[in-house]
Amino acid sequence: MIKQISFFLALSILPYLSFSQEKEDLTKMFRDVVNVQVDRAKYAPSAPAVTPVVHDGKGKKNHKKAESPAEPVADTLGPLIPAPSGEIVKRAQNWYNLKATKFTKANGSTSGNMMTCNVSFAFKQKMLNPENAVDGKIMMDVIVEAKEGKYRYTIKNIKHVALKPEMSGGDVYLTVPEAGSMNINDNTWKHIRSEAFTDAKLVIEDMKTKMTEEVKSDKDEW
């Protein structure tokens, strides 16, 4: 009886285990890791002052000023250090808050060392009398995850949403659009997909450029 209960319990939780172990399909997204360095003079903590130790001849240590202090160790470290994760998140938030000319950002959210948002592009066919009424939007999700000295960006869930719902192509990685090949022919679908991938690359370049810039504070620091 106990064996039967254990067997049925295993069957009941198996779908949840499979779902939790399911990996993201890396072929349906843009993802990369970018290193970030900052000026060491601004972000590295200064070394604490060390009080020289002088022996009094009886084996005891007296923390007194030495008559001949040792020469300071030469600074052989470079001018740059890996950027703190907090600074990287701050830059990601700044990128989200900056107005873009070619696309719209919305639903920005920051949790811990992660920033997420949605990006949308207006999609309009550049031709007279297009074959299919598919004008609308190209939409995608953007995720920035920060660690010390680097961040990973992910752009996924890239889809086409038409002004007429029945003409939406959906996931641009589909071979056949959601609306079906009768509503969106092959040439139109190829055009939609090509523009969607171009849009995603434009977001990446815009974000990477802004992420190299230090965020200026408006606060009166003292």
CATH code of 131's domain: 3.30.530.80
Higher-confidence residue of 108 and 219: namely 108
Tell me, yes or no, whether 102 lies in a domain: yes
Specify the pTM.
0.76
Domain membership of residue 222 (yes or no) is: no
Q: Is the pLDDT of residue 50 over 70?
A: no
Residue 130 lies in a domain: yes
CA–CA distance, 166 with 163 (Å, rounded to integer):
9
Nearest alpha carbon to residue 131 among 160, 163, 167, 165 = 167
How many angstroms separate the CA atoms of 121 and 116, rounded?
17
Q: Could you give the number of structural domains in the chain?
A: 1
Identify whether 68 is part of a domain: no
Higher pLDDT, 219 or 199: 199
Q: Could you tell me if residue 48 is inside a domain?
A: no
User: Which residue segment(s) compose the domain that 167 sits in?
Assistant: 25-40+80-211
- pLDDT exceeds 60 at position 137: yes
Residue 221 in this model has a pLDDT that exceeds 70: no
Please check whether residue 16 lies inside any domain of the structure.
no
20 within a domain of the structure (yes/no): no
| Residues facing 54 on adjacent strands | 62
Long-range contacts of 114-120 (CB under 8 A, 24+ apart): 114/89, 114/143, 114/144, 114/145, 114/146, 115/89, 115/143, 115/144, 115/146, 116/141, 116/142, 116/143, 116/144, 117/141, 117/142, 118/142, 119/155, 119/203
Residue % of the chain over a pLDDT of 90: 64
Residue 161 bridge partners (DSSP): 137
136 is a domain residue: yes
